[in-house]
């Protein structure tokens, strides 16, 4: 892997967004209620973060915690959230819709992808609940989404690294696979070398509790991740 790696950090406040940017994050995933896996943040928070950050911001579009099988009313709520993201100047949205039999809901996902344009769409870790990840990969590609955030179906990206590598190989240049879940400075090198991805996602929950308001610590942990990725890139460049 000769290309440089990109680091996305999930946050739920303006202060955490700023700390992540200071630490060197390349992109923010903006959520509310990260302890429940993240749901749609308020339009006010989207505006505030966009006004203060210079790096790209992707926003979570998830109407509630729990499963990813949504009613017509919930899908309408998701469209309203996407419209808020567009109006707020977000760079992308992060969403996922499944069927009751644990497949990617291609028609509804495609509708949301089309509605979100020109914003980029990432299909979040609803992907990991799909019954067949290889089939789900093709379904997401068919929907028109640009990225998949996944742990390879495992509890963490490190545990799912072998599957992640398989998904990345199968995806080729058709879609970007973004490993996420449990990534921190202590294991980022292993995840990079095993999965061989080019974008990575971390909420740093293994280093910081979700309720933590120690933004200096958050900044430091993000910087450690950035430095770890830089060292890996430097080593790989020297070997080429």
pLDDT value for 110:
98
CA neighbor of 119 nearest in space, from 147, 142, 139 = 147
Q: Which residue has the tokens 């009751």?
A: 100
Instruction: pLDDT band for 235, please (50, 70, 90 cuts).
Output: low
Per-residue model confidence (pLDDT) at position 240? 40
Q: Which residues contact 48 (CB under 8 A, 6 or more apart)?
A: 14
pLDDT 10s digits, 49-84: 999 999 999 999 999 999 999 999 999 999 999 999
Mean pLDDT of the chain: 93
pLDDT tens-place string over residues 203-221: 987 667 665 678 999 999 9
pLDDT in tens, 76-132: 999 999 999 999 999 999 999 999 999 999 999 999 999 999 999 999 999 999 999
138 vs 150: CA distance, rounded Å: 14
> What is the rounded CA–CA span in Å between residue 128 and residue 67?
12
For the record, the structure tokens of 192 come out as: 């990079």
Whether the CA torsion 170, 163, 132, 136 is positive or negative: it is negative
The pLDDT assigned to 232 comes to 84
100 alpha carbon, distance to own chain's centre? 23
Q: Beta strand pairing status for 27-30 and 120-123?
A: unpaired
CATH H-level superfamily of 6-121+183-239? Copper homeostasis (CutC) domain (3.20.20.380)
CB-CB contact of 103 with 135 (8 Å)? yes
Task: For the chain, give every domain's residue range.
Answer: 6-121+183-239
Angle between helices 14-23 and 215-239 (to 10 degrees): 30
């Amino acid at each position: 892997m000769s290309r440089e790696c990109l680091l996305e950090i999930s946050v739920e406040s303006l202060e955490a967004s700023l700390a992540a940017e200071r630490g060197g994050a390349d992109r923010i995933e903006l959520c509310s209620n990260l302890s429940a896996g993240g749901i749609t943040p308020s339009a006010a928070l989207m505006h505030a973060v966009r006004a203060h950050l210079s790096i790209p911001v992707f926003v979570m579009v998830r109407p509630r915690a729990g499963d990813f099988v949504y009613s017509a009313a919930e899908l309408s709520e998701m469209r309203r959230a996407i419209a808020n993201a567009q109006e707020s100047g977000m760079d992308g949205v992060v969403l996922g819709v499944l069927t009751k039999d644990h497949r990617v809901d291609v028609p509804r996902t495609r509708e949301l992808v089309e509605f979100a344009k020109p914003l980029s769409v990432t299909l979040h870790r609803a992907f990991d609940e799909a019954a067949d990840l290889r089939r789900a990969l093709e379904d997401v590609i068919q929907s028109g989404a640009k990225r998949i955030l996944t742990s390879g179906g495992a509890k963490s990206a490190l545990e799912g690294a072998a599957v992640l590598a398989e998904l990345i190989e199968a995806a080729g240049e058709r879609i970007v696979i973004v490993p996420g879940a449990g990534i921190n400075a202590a294991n980022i090198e292993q995840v990079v070398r095993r999965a061989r991805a080019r974008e990575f996602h971390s909420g740093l929950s293994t280093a910081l509790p979700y309720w933590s308001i120690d933004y200096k610590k958050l900044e430091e942990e993000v910087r450690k991740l950035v430095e770890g990725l830089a060292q890996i890139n430097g080593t790989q460049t020297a070997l080429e």
